[in-house]
Amino acid sequence: MDKHLRKARFGWCLYDWANSAFATVILAAVLPVYFVSLIPENGATLPFFSTHKFSAASLWGYSVSISMVTLAIAAPALGALADRKAWHKHLMMLFWLFGCVATTLLATTGSGDYLPAAVFFIIGNLSFAGANIFYNAYLPFLAPVEQADRLSARGFSYGYVGGGLVLAIVFLLILKHDYFGFADRGAATRFGFLITAFWWFIFAIPTFIYLPKTEKCSVTKESFSLKGYFNQFKQLLRYRDLSLFLVAFLCYNDGIQTIISVSAIYAREELQLGQGTIIGCFLMIQFMAMPGALFFARLGERIGTAHAIVLSLSVFLLVCIFAYRMTSALEFWILGGVIAVILGGSQALSRSLFASMVPKQKSAEFFGFFAISSRFAAIFGPLLFALVADLSGSSRNSILALGIFFIVGGLLLLLVNVKRGRKLAAGEN
């Protein structure tokens, strides 16, 4: 393998190591629990909604949804701009910097500051997801179709280990806060947010050194008007199987992303589990997910990428049913172990399957649509979770309701003709 390509692949994987600090500490394990502590016992009050009290679960779900709606609106135009101007790396850096700053600002929040915390989280989550558009768009440039599954899985493996290590550090600070000189767990948690921002910033630097420059896409006319925006969606429809995959991905990723983002809240409110138990389980998931991702990459090579994903979705459906019925910490740990095995595989294979059906010269633009599919999933899932929790008064019903996304997504995925989609993309490269 060419030395420059080897470095580029390493740099690409290392960004997953870097930004997974945000995914584990901010999005999944630590901030959700800290966010609950900021909400008054009688619920949160927001401007223009003074007569309604929001629970921690519902306010968290709405915050995730707001950040993702914003990204979904901007993603296609940002992707097209990156392709036409060869600004993949520049735009990725911009979102990376905003994300690091927003994560740092979370450390300035204190008791009762749930509104500033929600705003900083929204900015950080938007930046985290925005940078991933251009990060993912590099995959077709770095690996041919037959190597995409393994490189995608390798990136996720780096992410699980890196995210797990920083989560372990933050967890240790919180658990032994008095030993490290912090007044309480809240102070240790806020310092953990600073560590997360520093980790994301420092380890992403080699990524921007090693990733190669991209070339401009050949276009006869640039249009970023409203008409041009909708024309991008019309263009996508020319790629029948790619479009169908995006709909399927939207459905099943809805369930996956929601499980990730609300599991800590669910464990805290429904199972009354302590922060130590929750973070400890997330640590286990991080390190078990690495071999799971690599296993599914090889499984995809043997039975087909799409079929391997469908297998993982079947297990996710069982996870929803089990989560609805579980009552103990032991069951929570067992469920975490199952999720760990299937989580990395479903995510890594989804990314590589999409990349294999994307024309290289439209990589960022189409990964903008991938971001829409991914992030609209992060809109509807948490929104459904929040609404069901609000209406029924129980998060258990919300968890069970997520199973429909895996059923519909899996059925749609079986209709995708992968060979036809790859042939069409190869003919335009």
Alpha-carbon separation of residue 46 from 2, 114, 116, 125, 302 (angstroms): 56, 10, 11, 20, 52
Return the number of other C-beta atoms located less than 10 Å from residue 233's C-beta: 12
Give the span between the Cα atoms of 265 and 367, in whole angstroms: 30
**216 in a structural domain:** no
pLDDT of residue 220: 45
**220 in a structural domain:** no
Please report, for the domain that includes residue 403, its CATH number.
1.20.1250.20
**178 in a structural domain:** yes
Q: Where are the alpha helices (DSSP H) in 304-356?
A: 305-325, 329-356
Helix pair 226-236, 363-392: axis angle to 10 deg: 90
Helix then strand then coil, in percent of the chain rounded to 5, is 80, 0, 15
Give the span between the Cα atoms of 136 and 12, in whole angstroms: 9
Unique residue bearing structure tokens 């008791």: 111
**135 in a structural domain:** yes
The residues, any chain, with a CB within 8 Å of residue 409's CB and separated by 6 or more, are: 248, 249, 250, 251, 252, 253, 254, 255, 313
pLDDT of residue 426: 79
pLDDT (tens digit, 9 = 90+) per residue, 316-343? 999 999 988 888 888 889 888 888 889 8
pLDDT (tens digit, 9 = 90+) per residue, 93-144? 999 999 999 999 999 998 889 999 999 999 999 999 999 999 999 998 898 8
Alpha-carbon separation of residue 152 from 146, 163, 326, 350, 402 (angstroms): 11, 16, 33, 9, 26
Q: Which domain holds residue 324?
A: 3-43+51-211+226-428
Q: Where are the alpha helices (DSSP H) in 88-138?
A: 88-105, 114-137
pLDDT (tens digit, 9 = 90+) per residue, 225-257? 556 666 777 778 888 999 999 999 988 988 887
pLDDT of residue 7: 94
Unique residue bearing structure tokens 């050949």: 218
Please indicate whether residue 392 or residue 378 has the higher confidence score (pLDDT). 392
pLDDT (tens digit, 9 = 90+) per residue, 168-224? 999 899 989 999 999 999 999 999 999 999 999 999 999 999 999 887 765 445 555
pLDDT of residue 175: 87
Q: Where are the alpha helices (DSSP H) in 237-304?
A: 240-269, 275-303
Instruction: Output the CA torsion 37→40→46→47 (10° steps).
Output: -120
Residues 258-282 have a mean pLDDT of: 79
pLDDT of residue 428: 65
Under the banding of pLDDT at 50, 70 and 90, the label for residue 410 is very high
The residues, any chain, with a CB within 8 Å of residue 170's CB and separated by 6 or more, are: 25, 30, 189, 192, 195, 196, 279
**218 in a structural domain:** no
**239 in a structural domain:** yes
pLDDT of residue 384: 80
Lowest mean pLDDT among 119-128, 145-154, 383-392, 416-425: 383-392
Return the number of other C-beta atoms located less than 10 Å from residue 366's C-beta: 31
**221 in a structural domain:** no
pLDDT of residue 329: 84
Please indicate whether residue 121 or residue 288 has the higher confidence score (pLDDT). 121
Measure CA 4 to chain center: 28
Alpha-carbon separation of residue 321 from 26, 341, 384 (angstroms): 26, 17, 17
Residue 44, beta-bridge partner list? 54
Give the span between the Cα atoms of 217 and 201, in whole angstroms: 29
pLDDT of residue 12: 96
**217 in a structural domain:** no
Query: Which of 416, 151, 149, 414 lies closest to 299, judged by CA?
Result: 149
Query: Which of 146, 135, 150, 153 lies closest to 370, judged by CA?
Result: 135
The encoded tokens of residue 225 equal: 């008007």
pLDDT of residue 409: 94
pLDDT of residue 378: 61
Residues 24-32 have a mean pLDDT of: 87
Give the span between the Cα atoms of 372 and 366, in whole angstroms: 10
pLDDT of residue 375: 66
CB 33 within 8 A of CB 263: no
Asked if residue 92 has pLDDT above 90, the reply is: yes
Total number of residues shown for the chain = 429
Domain count, the chain: 1
Asked if residue 429 has pLDDT above 80, the reply is: no
Give the span between the Cα atoms of 57 and 387, in whole angstroms: 10
Q: What is the mean pLDDT of the chain?
A: 86
